[in-house]
Amino acid sequence: VASDRADNVDDTTGFTPLVDNPFAHQTIGKRTPCLVVDKITADRNIAVMADANPGTRLRPHVKAFKSTALARRLSDAGHQGFTCATLAEVEGMMRAGLGHDLLLANQTLDADHLSRIVELDGRLTVAVDSSETIAAATAGRVTEVLIDVFVGMPRCGCPPDEAGALATQARAAGLTVRGVMGYEGHLMMIEDRWRQAEQVAAAMEDLTRAAEDVGGEIISAGGTGTYDLHTEATEIQAGSYVLMDTDYLSLGLPFDLALWVEATIISVNHHQGWLVADAGLKAMAMDHGNPTWPFGDVWFCSDEHTTLSPNGDLDRDWRVGDRVRLAPAHVDPTVAKHERMWVVADEGVVDEWPVDLRFW
């Protein structure tokens, strides 16, 4: 666990509980469920990563926070290029003046949308892994591509030994090939760091072999879980580290939880001893499991409710109308469910970051 964590880290949950929920009053008046970001922690995460991967060594992935306000903070921290997963993210970043060097690290066949985006101010590089996506890039008047290479995760990416031929095909179509990308997402959550480092190195052997065949200067790879394990990659695509989630927190990386879903207690069952909060699976992504609550157990989530079992005596304090904060297990899809994040610091709500890069 990070050495700069506060002393009161809870050994069971691994994160610092907001003791007596000191910030909850600050967002009273805001409707729940809502997203709350601890500004100091997010800024510290940004600084820790910028130290490890400064400037263009990091190409932050905006899919994890979907907010140009937050992307601007990363740009201010020195990262000029960004990674996107959707054309809406690319378009939003360009319209916000953050399109200096954007990588769509995903396949698209939407030549119409591409051709509208290339009219905007900015530089766009698109990942391609087939003749079809090369054709869409040229039809969409994109000029620069990366060859997306399979490095072990069964998703996009051509076989490493086909990357060179695809690059030749792209060049013949008039495209500039800037290099390769390969996302080793299947290796992010390996707890044993030595084993993880070994497997990342093996995956990157495939990518560097493909890079030799493809040419170009970029080898783009990596994520939050492998942010410090790359020697061959020229840039790292991490994004979750800014706000974090309990899944990534379990790895003991030097990034702390900055994002919470705040909810209101709408029912207290004094007889059997549970609380009901007004945030359910429509307010939090559940694909990595239940959210965590520092003051007790999460029993289950339904559409609009989470049933909580508090530690200790229920009659102690919990009342209808109390605010609670739940820590989501998966940041990206949780953020995508909301329109804004309330940014809190000691003095209360200090900012509002619109989640303006949502949808496709």
Ligand X SMILES: Cc1ncc(COP(=O)(O)O)c(C=O)c1O
Q: Could you list the residues that contact ligand X (CB under 6 A)?
A: 61, 64, 83, 105, 183, 185, 188, 223-225, 237-241
Q: Which is nearer to ligand X, 90 or 268 (CB)?
A: 90
Minimal distance, residue 333 CB to ligand X, in Å: 10
Least spacing, CB of residue 271 vs ligand X, in Å? 42
Q: What's the CA gap between 337 and 136, in Å, rounded?
A: 30
Give the residue with the Cβ less far from ligand X, 223 or 280: 223
Least CB distance to ligand X at residue 264 (A): 29
Q: Taking CB positions, which residue lies at the least distance from ligand X?
A: 223
Q: Is the dihedral of CA 71, 77, 82, 84 positive or negative?
A: negative
3-state DSSP percent of the chain in helix, strand and coil, to 5: 30, 25, 45
Question: Do residues 159 and 207 lie in contact, with contact meaning Cβ atoms separated by under 8 Å?
Answer: no
| Type of residue at 108 | T
Residue 191 identity: E
Q: Which is nearer to ligand X, 300 or 359 (CB)?
A: 359
State the nearest-atom distance from the C-beta of 226 to ligand X, in Å. 8
In terms of DSSP H, where are the helices of the chain?
A: 39-52, 68-76, 87-95, 111-117, 131-139, 163-172, 193-214, 246-249, 331-335
Ramachandran bin of 94, using left for φ above 0, alpha for ψ from -120 to 50, beta for the remaining angles: alpha
Q: How far is the CB of 12 from ligand X (least distance, A)?
A: 24
Residues contacting 152, CB < 8 A, separation 6+: 184, 186, 187, 199, 203, 206
Is there a contact between 59 and 103 (Cβ–Cβ < 8 Å)?
yes
Give me the amino acid identity at 323: R
Task: Please state the closest distance from residue 289 (CB atom) to ligand X, in A.
Answer: 16
Instruction: Give the nearest distance from C-beta 63 to ligand X in angstroms.
Output: 6
Quick one: 117 or 188, whose CB is closer to ligand X? 188
Structural contact between residues 299 and 254, judged by C-beta atoms closer than 8 angstroms:
no
Nearer to ligand X, 45 or 237 (CB): 237
Residue 122 or 157 having the CB closest to ligand X: 157
Residue 185 or 216: which CB sits closer to ligand X?
A: 185
